[in-house]
Chains A and B, each alone.
Chain A
């Protein structure tokens, strides 16, 4: 696919414009949706449905004084937001918004460019984007910023491992790393038990564990709640952007929302069938028109963004060690096991070993494996501490404590024993 330069220019300009407007929309969308979830309204005053609020906030950031604290590293303080912003936009170069269409007499894909290693481009761009956050924290010359930056980069590097591993099964299934080819591989019909329902070859269903791992790690990757530890306001003020204001702050804000859209777009492309119409609408032939691709794509991505907002409105923030434990001890081992299982099944299917006795052997091995994992991870429950009996020590450990069930109150037992009605439970206890 070699586009002439003017077609490339059109595509790039469209992508940038779409991203900017979409971000403004997403800021409003998030505030309204999280407002609904918390029984309040969100921004409603300015513009239709309050849409003008996000635009006004953005404009305010642009026209604010470009303030810079006195002790910062001036070069890197300016370079850092540029890296973050550029990386956020670059990722969209390889994301397919639509299939193959004819534009001004030239057959082309509705995506800026497609490479045989397009998914690797996304991972590479993410790893460069980390520089934007780390340098922001370091150049700000503030402990809060530095700690936020280190947290952010540690978090992104750890979760990038799990993310990359979860993508391997997609590559195995589609036999390609090009985003266009991965979406087209999901166009193929899926016939469960020989039923032809027009189902698409959904990756999210075929490789559900990989999909779940991806969705968890994409939230960690974008530093969003409940994994927004780099910006934990109760601990780190505002993390790596503590010292930023005005336009530079706006770039970080923009980058965060674009990154959220980017990981949602990757999830859509790799697992949800990208620009393909949603089942059962794909059975209606006119809806399969490639020009409608962007609409399906945007709907799917917007659903993912709603998911981001939903968990932000629902879940409390993780503690940092719990978060790292989840990444390294939970997601990465599961992803590795899943790759082995999936590769084995793919190989068995391609060599036709799954027909006949092979499938039973495979299922048996799988069941053994699952059983083994469950048995190995099953820890014995700790023995409950023995219930103390006898007289209660009202100042055990030096501060007042109530009696446990089975303990007797020392002075009162003698006093209440004199009345017959109340004495019974006391005597029961002493037995």
Chain B
């Protein structure tokens, strides 16, 4: 067994405060992503503490499962949903804060007295003796997990599966109509082309003028009119579309004057 750092005490006084700092950050940060990250930071610091206590397996399982999988899932949701605006401090449920405070104190009491009571009468045998019983730390852990506590683990996993399936069912949205596949969509496009002459290919690009080439610039058809399909409907609804015919007006006028001059010359 190789301890990562020899002084477990030193590690405790470095990693412990950092873990607490991460915990404070979880509550104090206004940005949701920062809060999630400070929680991940706390978890990594806990892993360092486990390592300083020679619990190597727990260290890396903590990082793989909690930091790698669970916090990543949280981050995923935060980023995808875009929950990044600070919540308002108006209480929507009446008495929620009081209830939360009572529950918090209750859980703290449970943890302190529960764990304290469980440890009060126990004499620690030490890591050496515990490892010697099964010839190694991991062997001992696996013997306990798959031996004495196998039912507890199986029941927990069954509970988790039930919870996951339940969440999936609750979150499921029944489709009223069958979702169109790629093939069906292409058939629909060809049908529209056959019936109404809708162009089956991709939509025209946005326009490119001397001063503007943004997606808000509509493309112009050969006769100088605007192609409605060349700009997004969202932009049209917002009313941010650049007035392309007005911008090409100067060019059109120039061409018009040239043409009229040429026509006059031709007449002469």
Contacts and interface: CB of A to CB of B under 8 A. Distances in A.
A127 B67 contact: yes
B151 interface: no
Given A116-B137, A150-B79, A130 B60 contact: no
Given A117-B57, A150-B76, A150-B80, A127 B68 contact: yes
Contact of B63 (A124, A153, A154): A124
A55 interface: no
B67 A115 contact: no
Contacts of A397: 190-191, 194
Given A127-B72, A131-B72, A399 B61 contact: no
A124 B72 CA distance: 13
Nearest to B1: A116
B24 to A, nearest CB: 17
B4 to A, nearest CB: 9
B136 A116 contact: yes
B2 interface: yes
B2 A2 contact: yes
A146 interface: yes
Main secondary structure of the interface of A (DSSP, over half): helix
B72 A399 contact: no
A134 B71 CA distance: 12
B128 interface: no
A120 B57 contact: yes
Interface in A1-45: 1-2
Contacts of B194: 395, 397-399
Contacts of B80: 150
Given A1-B2, A399-B190, A116 B138 contact: yes
A409 interface: no
B191 A153 contact: no
Interface string B56-87: 11011101100111001001100110000000
Given A117-B138, A123-B64, A157 B72 contact: yes
B40 A120 contact: no
B138 A177 contact: yes
Given A114-B2, A116-B56, A398-B191, A127 B69 contact: yes
Given A115-B56, A116-B1, A399-B194, A124 B68 contact: yes
A129 to B, nearest CB: 9
B7 to A, nearest CB: 14
Interface string B166-209: 00000000000000000000000011011100000000000000
Contacts of A154: 76
A177 B195 CA distance: 66
Contacts of A177: 138
Nearest to B192: A398
A114 B1 CA distance: 9
Contacts of B68: 123-124, 126-128, 130, 157, 160
B195 A124 contact: no
B33 interface: yes
A117 B190 CA distance: 59
Nearest to A146: B79
Interface in A138-157: 138, 146, 149-150, 153-154, 157
Nearest to B65: A127
Contacts of A128: 44, 63, 67-68
Contacts of A262: none
Nearest to B6: A2
Contacts of A115: 2, 56
A177 B44 CA distance: 22
Contacts of A134: 72, 75-76, 79
A36 B193 CA distance: 46
Contacts of A200: none
A149 to B, nearest CB: 8
Interface string B242-257: 0000000000000000
Interface string A71-84: 00000100000000
B2 A138 contact: no
Contacts of B56: 115-117
A160 B60 CA distance: 15
A130 B40 CA distance: 13
Contacts of A157: 68-69, 72
A2 B1 CA distance: 9
A68 interface: no
A120 B138 CA distance: 12
A399 to B, nearest CB: 5
Contacts of B57: 116-117, 120
Interface in B120-143: 136-138
A154 B37 CA distance: 18
A126 B67 CA distance: 11
Contact of A124 (B2, B33, B60, B75): B60
A157 B64 CA distance: 10
A394 B247 CA distance: 47
Contact of A138 (B40, B79, B191): B79
A121 interface: yes
A113 interface: yes
Nearest to B56: A117
Contacts of A117: 56-57, 59-60, 138
Those 10 A-B pairs whose CB atoms lie nearest each other, nearest first:
A398-B194, A127-B68, A120-B60, A124-B63, A124-B60, A117-B56, A124-B64, A399-B194, A138-B79, A117-B57
29 contacts: A1-B2, A113-B2, A114-B2, A116-B137, A116-B138, A117-B60, A117-B138, A120-B64, A123-B60, A123-B68, A126-B68, A127-B67, A127-B72, A128-B67, A130-B68, A131-B40, A135-B37, A138-B75, A146-B79, A150-B76, A150-B79, A154-B76, A157-B72, A395-B194, A397-B191, A398-B191, A398-B193, A399-B193, A399-B194
Given A134-B76, A146-B79, A395-B194, 7 more contacts: A116-B136, A121-B60, A123-B64, A127-B64, A150-B76, A150-B80, A397-B194
